[in-house]
């Protein structure tokens, strides 16, 4: 399809990672097959950013789809096709709404010390990794259940010329928020790396930065380091991050 790179801006190199062209072609085929099977005459797919309309059929039979459907599976397209054709059952409508809720980018507002900051994040279930599942695997390292549990989400892929901020922890009006850099939502990133990033940011929530007697701000205190050391693959994860930072900078520059 002509103009595909422009249409995938939300998932481009400098934003949220997206499927490869081959994957996009496969996804479009799934969408067209599902919609045609319920009597809708469609010829091609065009990806849109419209947050109000998830799908529609335009002139010439062009199927307009919100870019969140780049993360859809066959069952998601079947539910969508039934909704569009007026043949939806109760469970189809529920699946349709659940998919949108789980995949539509959301806005959060954090207090960064200089006023409120607006952030656009993707929900925790990414293309290759689920942040909630990673969090579940590491909460056993806590002495007691954490209250409140942090909100988790992917922030846009961002790299610097000499380094990458893998994750951040910050307060919001909805509670503590852990953001993971979307460069890590990739097939070649091990699960233990995501677990370490989340655990590191969780340690910031348990042991927040403080100011010592000399007026110096201490981010990684002795207590923080003791907590972080509980992660059993700490050394392995930190080595992976050091060894791969340049490769990921090149991938996303």
What are the sequence ranges of the domains in the chain? 4-103, 106-252
Q: How far apart, in Å, are the Cα atoms of 207 and each of 80, 140, 225? A: 45, 17, 9
pLDDT in tens, 214-247: 888 889 999 999 999 999 999 999 999 999 999 9
The class level of CATH for 4-103 reads alpha beta
Q: Answer whether 27's CB lies under 8 Å from 69's CB.
A: yes
State mean pLDDT over 115-127: 76
| Residue 163 clears pLDDT 50, i.e. is over it | yes
Please state, in angstroms and rounded to a whole number, the distance separating the CA atoms of residues 83 and 62: 17
pLDDT in tens, 63-112: 999 988 988 999 999 999 999 999 998 999 999 999 988 887 777 776 65
Please state, in angstroms and rounded to a whole number, the distance separating the CA atoms of residues 205 and 210: 12
pLDDT in tens, 30-45: 999 999 999 999 999 9
pLDDT at 156: 81
Please state, in angstroms and rounded to a whole number, the distance separating the CA atoms of residues 53 and 132: 28
pLDDT, greater one: 109 or 206:
206
State mean pLDDT over 11-29: 74
State whether the Cα torsion 203-138-194-173 is positive or negative.
negative
User: For residue 145, what are its two tokens?
Assistant: 């259940």
């Amino acid at each position: 399809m002509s103009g595909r790179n422009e249409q995938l801006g939300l998932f481009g190199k400098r934003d949220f990672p997206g499927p490869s062209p081959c994957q996009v072609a496969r996804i479009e085929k799934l969408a067209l097959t599902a919609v045609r099977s319920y009597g809708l005459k469609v010829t091609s797919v065009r990806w849109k950013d419209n947050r109000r309309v998830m799908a529609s059929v335009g002139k010439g039979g062009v199927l307009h789809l919100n870019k969140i459907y780049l993360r859809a599976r066959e069952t998601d397209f079947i539910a969508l096709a039934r909704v569009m054709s007026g043949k939806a059952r109760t469970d189809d409508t529920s699946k349709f709404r659940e998919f949108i809720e789980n995949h539509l980018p959301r806005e959060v507002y954090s207090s960064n010390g200089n006023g409120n900051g607006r952030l656009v994040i993707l929900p925790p279930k990414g293309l290759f990794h689920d942040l909630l599942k990673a969090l579940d695997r590491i909460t056993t390292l806590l002495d007691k259940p954490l209250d409140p549990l942090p909100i988790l989400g992917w922030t846009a892929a961002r790299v610097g010329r000499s380094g990458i901020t893998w994750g951040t922890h910050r307060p919001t009006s909805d509670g503590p928020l852990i953001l993971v850099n979307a460069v890590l939502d990739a097939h070649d990133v091990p699960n233990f790396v995501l677990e370490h990033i989340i655990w590191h940011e969780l340690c910031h929530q348990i042991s927040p930065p403080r100011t010592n007697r000399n007026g110096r701000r201490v981010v990684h205190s002795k207590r923080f380091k003791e907590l972080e050391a509980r992660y059993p693959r700490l050394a392995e994860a930190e080595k992976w991050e050091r060894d791969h930072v340049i490769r990921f900078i090149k991938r996303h520059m």
